[in-house]
A = this chain, B = another copy of it.
Amino acid sequence: MTQKKNVTFDDIAKYTNFSKTTISRYFNNPDSLTLQNQEIIAQALIELDYKENKVARILANGKTEFIGIIIPNLILHYYSEMLNQILSTYETFGYKFLVFAGNEQEETERQYIQELLAYKIEGLIILSHTIPSEELAKLPIPIVTIEREDRQVCSVNSDNCTGGRQAASLLHKHNCEMLLHINSPSNPDIPAYGRVQGFLDYCAEHQLKHRLILRETGNSHESMQMHLTNILDELAQLYTGLKKGIFISNDTQANVLLNLLYRKYGRLPEDILLVGFDNSPVSREAVIPISTVGQQIDKLAYEAVSLLVEQMNERKKRRPVPLTEPVHKIIPTVLYERETTRS
């Protein structure tokens, strides 16, 4: 294990003339010992420099206090910040996290899950999109997903639909004559599709001229630049003279769009308003601060862990009552109005 022999309960027992059991009780139920004996053991622990061994404890009582995480990557700010917030729940719940970055390789992620199960994780948080929820639901431990397809499993998602409405209404408020939503073509059963739906609903309800532009823009910065350049050209041609309100699916792309405009005009043209999504740092640090619909990543993370912990606790009861149906929590989005929508 480590260097030499480790001090064990046996050593402490011999040293103090108690039994192993009593030493164990000192840790798990100290009140059952006399204060005096607690003192004696406490002293012995120091003198022997005892270090606890949680692996042995796990084997004996089955509680690892591990939660597994499968996350697509840590390159996107959204994911790294989410992991950050998940890790910080350690202070509240005490669970430790075993983290795998899956890179969206389905088979690889299956192996990760097996590995995690072998380490007896008590619950699993999934952010990656590869493995269908039907399959996840069959795993022998509680699962919570965040912002992904979640028909068969518990989940925590942003209120994307309201988010889409917020964006549309902001553009509406500033009297845009043409509302545009740029997004990538995606499956309606992932939560992010709600942004499209919310946008469309708002426009329909208020009878606004609008258009939905679904286009794959790729992942690289270059490819995004290229596709967005094309889109900007189209818009300039089609809607000359009209005040255009653009709602784009995330802040990274909003930033690219804004920079393209700045390089061309040295500023944001007055007939273009821009709203992003995520409230990621780039939205604040852009050449001018970008209006955006923010996800409350801290709350998403906290609720995900909290929901998971509830279920893990339920299983530890003598008569566990499993959920009859997956729970889906919704976290509100927050509108940040900044300089790209000041007319």
Name A residues whose Cβ lies closer than 8 Å to a Cβ of B: 1-3, 51-56, 58-59, 62, 64, 73-75, 77, 80-81, 83-84, 87-88, 90, 96-101, 103, 115, 117-120, 140-141, 221, 252, 255-256, 259, 262-263, 266-267, 281-282, 284-288, 315
Contact = CB atoms under 8 A, between A and B. Distances in A.
Given A54-B118, A118-B53, A255-B285, A140 B99 contact: no
Nearest to A83: B74
26 contacts: A1-B62, A1-B120, A2-B117, A2-B140, A2-B141, A52-B118, A53-B120, A54-B120, A55-B55, A55-B64, A74-B83, A75-B80, A75-B81, A75-B84, A80-B80, A80-B83, A83-B83, A87-B100, A88-B101, A90-B100, A259-B287, A259-B288, A263-B288, A266-B266, A282-B282, A282-B285
Contacts of A115: 96
Contacts of A255: 285
Contacts of A56: 59
Contacts of A140: 2-3
Contacts of A98: 96-98
Contacts of A54: 118-120
Contacts of A96: 98, 115, 119
A286 B96 CA distance: 37
A331 to B, nearest CB: 20
Contacts of A84: 73-75, 80, 101
Contacts of A81: 74-75
A55 B87 contact: no
A231 to B, nearest CB: 18
A284 B74 CA distance: 18
Contacts of A221: 281, 284-285
Given A252-B285, A266-B266, A285-B255, A120 B59 contact: no
B52 A55 contact: no
A74 B64 contact: no
A212 to B, nearest CB: 25
Nearest to A141: B2
Contact of A74 (B3, B74, B120): B74
